[in-house]
Chains A and B, each alone.
Chain A
Amino acid sequence: MAQHDREGGVAPVQVRGTVLTVRRVDAYVAMTVVAPAIATRFRPGQFVAVAVGGPQSAMLARRTFSVHDVRPDHGGTVEFVFLPREPGTQWLADCRSRDVLDVVGPLGRPFPVPRDPASCLLLGVGPGAAPLFALAARLGDRGCPTDYLLGAESADRVFGALTARRTGRSAVVTTADGSMGSRGSVVDMLPTVVQQARTDVIYASAPLGVLRAVCSLAGRYGIPVQALVAEPAMTCGTGLCMGCVLPVAGNDGITRMVRACVDGPVFRGDLVRWDDVGTIPFDALGAPGWKPRPGAPGAPGVPGAAGERSHAG
């Protein structure tokens, strides 16, 4: 089981970073920004929140992106990958090198990595695959063999297939239209891959529906999942706005509405109540009609009350 080294994380910083490169990678845009303070603090799974539209922008929400990679050149650069499809990300895609961006990061809790070598399956769908490659490098340092299972709608939306084939012990690709790898979804291939690779732990970064299916399948096999969620969309990324909440059960058995940006974006798959995402479960702490059990953890006056980070385990 993956051991956690989540505590002792360093505080995020807000920097003005110079754009180094903007590249097209298939359907995606990969952007590299010089931000030494973020690069040195970064751990795989963390993300950055970028202000879009300039200083007097009409777009107040920050756009958040999982960090794909950090490199030591120019003191430290941060790379992230996105699909430009709304005005904010379109504006970013139109940036050129030497433009200056307001970037906050690194944010969120990173992927916990196993203390002892374990067989790790890295599962990514679309741009969700981006944060997995830095994780793979870290797992490699610890002697963990890594297998990849990547998916997307079509071949041009599969991110990092080449890197996966080169660096992974094995790499399986699925596309919905069959234009690359096997036709179908990553969920269809998961049982085969897990059995062939003798997977000990799954790291998944995908849309909610896929994460939910992966977690339920993995539960059947008794394999722990570390899931990186990208929904609900974040507005600030820093934990201020409370917009990106989802129901997560704590180790004390109490479900709380926690922020994906500070308590995630990486969650233990078995603790997220996938079926209740987008709702307030009736038994969540503070839900309408909810009453504290006297003396129970989570009740007022007892340590472990609302909002504490005890759920992450």
Chain B
Amino acid sequence: MPADLRTRIGHLDLPSPVLTAAGCAGAGRELAQFTDIARIGAVITKSVTIEPRAGNPAPRFAETPSGLLSSCGMQGPGIDGFLQRDLPWLLSRGARAFVNIAGHTAREYGELASRLSDAAGVTAIEVNLGCPDAAAAGRPFALDAAAAGQVVAAVRGSARYDIPVFAKLSPEVTDIVAVAKACVSAGADGLSMINTLPGMAIDPVTFRPALAGLSGGLSGPAVRPVAVRCVWQVREALPDVPIIGAGGVRTGRDALELLLAGACLVAVGSVLFHDPSACSRIQRELEEELVARGVDRVADVVGRAHQPAGYAADRRRWVL
């Protein structure tokens, strides 16, 4: 019997816990050539900004062991272009849209949230807290609990009541739980983690940094253990807050690991560059993993790693 992948978060009903991660699937158009985007949980869009952005110069990517360093600079059409072309297209394909928003001030985030609330069909908002804060000399919002809380409060205040707001956290902090708590008390309905880790690569031919933006964000399977640790810590501190886990998910087994750590949803990121059909494949593999372990519903494994060791020992004896 197939396992039930349906996932409920508040009033959201998603057919699967597998999503695309922000910035790795554009607005779904390219991905739809390889994956049925209506059958995955949702498409988390590339960060949407107020104005169109040209992004950073190339080279924007460097390959590192089991990872990618990227610094795209949030190239995109801006909120007008997004609402005019990308969102209607996503909805016409029957996909659910988690819209990732980015800005430089809490006000910009608020404005984006209210524009998205006026448009029909936004399933959820994910707040990219990795952008430089204009008021704090370019330090990302996610590095400071108070700044992150202000942004989340602005978004929650402007977004329609029935659109859940997820705050995307950075792993580059001493205490991710403190930032998570600040976001939740500012009104975040859920949390999303992890954003990329800052990193750098130097080209041995040119003797110069490999990226035009000098340093970039590291993603891919190389960062998965960091994601698992972050999800675990936040789930431990805030067991009732839904979490979108992301970071190097490549197989159904990887997705299962994040679910066990406490994520309700799992987003597939830079692995999509390697395998554009990864979402469908991971969804299928996850179901197989669940069936192999005698689990009927995906909701049953969420956060299971937090159960006492004795219980885990039981599972090993009975299931595997």
Contacts and interface: CB of A to CB of B under 8 A. Distances in A.
A243 B97 CA distance: 23
A61 B274 contact: yes
Interface in B67-82: 67-68, 70, 72, 75-81
Interface string A277-294: 111100011111010100
B72 A243 contact: yes
A62 interface: yes
Given A243-B70, A306-B76, A59 B63 contact: yes
B57 A280 contact: yes
B39 interface: no
B33 A60 contact: no
A60 B270 contact: yes
Interface residues of B, number: 48
Nearest to A255: B54
A246 B75 CA distance: 12
A62 B277 CA distance: 14
Interface stretch (A199-207, A233-241, A264-272): A233-241
A60 B52 contact: no
Contacts of B58: 232, 243-246, 277-278
Given A14-B276, A14-B277, A239-B30, A286 B25 contact: no
B303 interface: no
B306 interface: no
B75 A60 contact: no
Contacts of A241: 24, 60-61, 70, 72, 270, 273
B59 interface: yes
A102 interface: yes
A305 B55 contact: no
Interface residues of A, number: 47
A57 B273 CA distance: 13
A12 interface: yes
In this complex, which of A59, A232, A280 has the most chain B Cβ atoms within 10 angstroms of its Cβ? A280
B66 interface: yes
B163 to A, nearest CB: 22
B185 interface: no
Interface secondary structure of A, over-half rule:
loop
Given A62-B273, A243-B70, A238 B80 contact: no
Given A239-B30, A300-B78, A60 B274 contact: yes
Contacts of A238: 30, 33-34, 273, 276
Interface string A240-260: 111111100000000011000
Contacts of B46: 242
B201 interface: no
B30 A286 contact: no
Contacts of A235: 61, 63, 68, 273
B273 A286 contact: no
Contact of A284 (B54, B72, B212): B54
Contacts of B70: 241, 243
Contacts of B277: 14
Contacts of A162: none
Given A238-B33, A280-B55, A284-B54, A245 B273 contact: no
Contacts of A239: 26, 29-30
A286 B271 contact: no
B139 interface: no
A276 to B, nearest CB: 9
A245 B60 CA distance: 9
A104 interface: yes
Contact of A243 (B29, B59, B271): B59
B51 interface: yes
A240 B24 contact: yes
Interface string B256-277: 0000000000000011111111
Given A51-B274, A300-B80, 19 more contacts: A11-B33, A14-B275, A56-B250, A58-B66, A60-B63, A60-B221, A61-B68, A104-B34, A243-B60, A245-B55, A245-B58, A245-B60, A246-B58, A257-B54, A280-B57, A306-B76, A306-B78, A306-B81, A307-B77
Interface of B: 24-26, 29-31, 33-34, 46, 51-61, 63, 65-68, 70, 72, 75-81, 84-85, 212, 220-221, 250, 270-277
> What 10 pairs between A and B have smallest CB-CB spacing?
A300-B80, A236-B273, A286-B52, A232-B58, A306-B77, A286-B54, A239-B30, A243-B61, A306-B52, A286-B53
Interface of A: 11-12, 14, 51, 56-62, 88, 102, 104, 232-233, 235-236, 238-246, 256-257, 262, 277-280, 284-288, 290, 292, 300-301, 305-308
21 contacts: A11-B33, A12-B33, A14-B34, A51-B274, A56-B250, A57-B274, A60-B220, A60-B271, A61-B61, A104-B276, A233-B59, A236-B272, A240-B26, A240-B272, A244-B58, A256-B54, A257-B54, A286-B75, A287-B54, A300-B80, A305-B85
